[in-house]
Amino acid sequence: MKKGNTIFFKNRPCILSHAAVCGSKEKEGVLGKYADVTLQDDMYGESTYEKAECKMLSAAISLAIKKSGLGEDKIDVLLSGDLLNQIISASFAARDFKFPFLGLYSACSTMSESILLGAALVNAGYVNTAVCATGSHFASAERQYRYPLELGCTRPPQAQWTVTGAGGLVLGRAQKGIKVVNGTMGAVCDFGVTDVNNMGAAMAPAAAQTIISHFNDTETSPEDYDLILTGDLGALGSRILKDLTWEKGYDISSRHVDCGEIVYKVIESEFQGGSGAGCSATVLNSYILTKMNAGLYKRVLFAATGALLSTVSSGQGESIPCISHAVQLEV
Amino acid sequence: MTGRTRENLNTNYLNYVKTQDPPTKHLKNCAAAFGVGGLICCIGQFIRYMLQYAGLTGDELAGSTSVILIFLGCLLTGLGVYDRIGRYAGAGSIVPITGFANSVTSPAIEFKTEGWIYGMAAKMFTVAGAIIVFGVFSGVLVGLIYLFV
Amino acid sequence: MEAEILAIFLQYLKAFAVGGGICLIAQIIINFTDLTAGKILVYFMLAGVVLTAVGLYQPLVDFAGAGATVPISGFGYLLANGAIKGAERGFFYAITGSLTAASAGVTAAVVFAFIMALIFKSRTKRN
């Protein structure tokens, strides 16, 4: 059933298990206690950062499958993507598995897009189980989108820090567990922000648009949720999001939490928090889902946001189109 | 149609975003840039005096001074120190010749994973190539102007 | 002897002030615009070329020594100076003069960068 931009899942697609891998900087924060694997060294025993990112993603996928108690042969499809060109981490991680792979690209909102699509496939009965996973690595993202690591340049105060980590979850039909109730597909939103260092400001309108259309389609209000979780808006983007939704008559300030804001132990004053596909993936798949299983949160709206830019587009002076997909999770 | 030409170029929003920007620490940034930049120049002056003492003069003296500074910049980049200085000092470590050395060395180290020819060598001048291109071009222009005027 | 030491000290002071001042101007530009490091380097180098061509940079070099030659504008000074000197010798030297003068810097950058790439690996940052 679909209303507006929201698909309602009637057949209880559930999150059977989840797993997260996080880097050495990230483990000092909230992720340290909840992630399944924490790296001592961001190279993860590989020779390049891209290989390390691929290995993290692969580890998150196989851990999630292992924790679900299903064998690899019981998995019907893998939905995954990442930030690197031609989504190499996801495709290369998929080499390790025999089941089919559908590659997605939605930048940092890949986690919510994969859950949305996976839940739709499971709900319709086309597949019995689907694995959704994504990840990112600071060093590989930095060299693709910004500068070489050793270049001595300053970070502007709006900058965010790409999270090193990967998260994955297994979706299937079950009577118990965290179910995916509905999902709101986002439209691409571009308010003309061109500053590639100010992702929060670029992505906030997309998040606001999707969250508001979710409220309209489901006839809910912010108070109906224990948590409205955005991906990587950072401190600045979160402020803007609250302002934008408040303008439309929704006060989300008491319910809103941003993964980027909570992922690091201390947000140093010059940074706005974490970013990257791995940011929402690790936080959701470790802390949030664990706490949902424990009953701390009953109803969570997970709306990760992604900036759909490339170095080519920003080099040509294009503004940054952004997207946000939301899924509603309930215990 | 691009985002810029469409009506969604929302001036109000962009102005609003500007008001939300975290403040730049002008005083701290400028003091760090001035101090570190001045210090690097003093090191340059020191090297110059030492070489002068060793008997170098003229172009050889100036050239050798830059070579030593470039070596220091490359070494500190390789050791992973220069990017730390750069984060603190901003323009103070970008503008001196050591910053040029840093901008050549950092992509060379970074991209060697993509091979020695297309990675390390070809990408060595991704940042600094512009300096060579505009430097040589403007140098030729100046030469021609002086020749004909 | 004392006068000599004072002169050397004064020279350091001048180098510090002028070199730091050039960096300060760059930092102010970075603070108020969104120019990246690469663009700043190119603009300052071009500023060095232009100032040398109109004869304003040479006095600064005479005054501040390394304070004026160490910043990237000093590289522009080197290029323009080479071209100007070359122009006195004829067409061929007018064209090749600039890069000839800058060859030490470019060669050093290429060679040392190559050596560093052989030795070191890029490392990720934690803060």
Please compute the mean of the pLDDT values over residues A144-163 and round it to a whole number.
83
Q: Which spans in C33-90 are helix H?
A: 37-53, 57-64, 66-69, 72-87
Query: Do A151 and A8 sit in the same domain of this protein?
Result: yes
Looking at A172, A199, A224, which one is the last position of a domain?
A: A172
Residues 6+ apart with CB under 8 A from B133: none
Please compute the mean of the pLDDT values over residues A189-204 and round it to a whole number.
90
Distance (Å, whole) CA B10 – CA A190 = 9
pLDDT at B47: 95
Instruction: Report how far apart, in Å, the C-alpha atoms of A48 and of each of A24, A30, A51 are.
Output: 16, 27, 5
Distance (Å, whole) CA A245 – CA B7 = 21
Query: Do A204 and A166 sit in the same domain of this protein?
Result: no
- Domain range for A142 is 2-172
Asked which of A135-149, A215-229, A298-312 is least confident by mean pLDDT, the reply is A135-149
Please compute the mean of the pLDDT values over residues A88-102 and round it to a whole number.
95
* Contact predicate C82/C106, CB 8 Å: no
Looking at A122, A141, A172, which one is the last position of a domain?
A: A172
Residue of chain B minimizing CA distance to C91: B147
Q: Is A270 at the interface with chain C, CB within 8 A?
A: no
Query: Do A232 and A323 sit in the same domain of this protein?
Result: yes
Looking at A113, A148, A172, which one is the last position of a domain?
A: A172
For Cα atoms B14, A318, A278, give the angle at the middle one, nearest 5 degrees.
Answer: 85
Distance (Å, whole) CA A100 – CA A266 = 40
Q: Using the predicted structure, report yes or no on whether residue A217 has a pLDDT greater than 50.
A: yes
pLDDT digits (tens, 9 = 90+) for C68-77: 999 999 999 9
Q: Is B113 at the interface with chain A, CB within 8 A?
A: yes
Residues 6+ apart with CB under 8 A from C124: A42, A43, A49, A138, A139, A149, A164
pLDDT digits (tens, 9 = 90+) for C89-121: 999 999 999 999 999 999 999 999 999 999 998
Query: Do A122 and A168 sit in the same domain of this protein?
Result: yes
State chain A's mean pLDDT as an integer. Answer: 92
Q: Which of B15, B18, B19, B20 to substitute to test the interface with A, most A CBs within 10 Å?
A: B20
pLDDT digits (tens, 9 = 90+) for A235-252: 899 999 999 999 999 999
Query: Do A12 and A84 sit in the same domain of this protein?
Result: yes
State the count of interchain CB pairs (< 8 A) between A and B: 109
Query: Do A140 and A284 sit in the same domain of this protein?
Result: no
Q: Which residue has tokens 């992604």?
A: A306
pLDDT at B9: 56
Query: Do A161 and A61 sit in the same domain of this protein?
Result: yes
Query: Do A121 and A77 sit in the same domain of this protein?
Result: yes
Question: DSSP secondary structure string, A65-98?
Answer: HHHHT--GGG--EEEEEESSGGGHHHHHHHTT-S
Query: Do A192 and A86 sit in the same domain of this protein?
Result: no
Indicate which CATH number applies to the domain containing A151. Answer: 3.40.47.40
Of B90, B95, B130, the CB nearest to C22: B95
Query: Do A45 and A162 sit in the same domain of this protein?
Result: yes
Query: Do A167 and A198 sit in the same domain of this protein?
Result: no
pLDDT digits (tens, 9 = 90+) for B107-148: 999 899 889 999 999 999 988 999 999 999 999 999 999 998
Q: Which residues of C touch A268 (CB under 8 A)?
A: 127
Burial of A240: CB neighbours in 10 Å, binned 0-12, 13-18, 19+: buried
Kindly list the partner chains of chain A, i.e. chains with 3 or more CB atom pairs below 8 Å: B, C
**How many structural domains are present in chain A?**
2
State chain C's mean pLDDT as an integer. Answer: 91
Which value does ipTM take for this structure?
A: 0.91
Query: Do A118 and A267 sit in the same domain of this protein?
Result: no
Burial of A314: CB neighbours in 10 Å, binned 0-12, 13-18, 19+: middle
Q: Is C79 at the interface with chain B, CB within 8 A?
A: yes
pLDDT at A243: 93
Instruction: Report how far apart, in Å, the C-alpha atoms of B91 and of each of B85, B106, B116 are.
Output: 10, 17, 30
* Contact predicate A142/A162, CB 8 Å: yes
Please compute the mean of the pLDDT values over residues A204-228 and round it to a whole number.
95
Tokens representing residue A291 in the block: 């706490």
Please compute the mean of the pLDDT values over residues A80-105 and round it to a whole number.
94
Q: Using the predicted structure, report yes or no on whether residue A194 has a pLDDT greater than 70.
A: yes
* Position B1 confidence tier, pLDDT thresholds 50, 70, 90: very low
pTM attached to this predicted model: 0.90
pLDDT at B2: 46
Q: Are residues B8 and A153, on separate chains, in Cβ contact within 8 Å?
A: no
Q: How far apart are the first and last CA of chain C?
A: 49
Q: Which of B94, B100, B110, B148 to substitute to test the interface with C, most C CBs within 10 Å?
A: B94
For Cα atoms A56, A62, A65, give the angle at the middle one, nearest 5 degrees.
Answer: 140
- Residue C116, SS3? helix
Distance (Å, whole) CA A185 – CA A12 = 19
Q: Are residues A152 and B17, on separate chains, in Cβ contact within 8 Å?
A: no
pLDDT digits (tens, 9 = 90+) for C11-52: 999 999 999 999 999 999 988 887 888 888 999 999 999 999
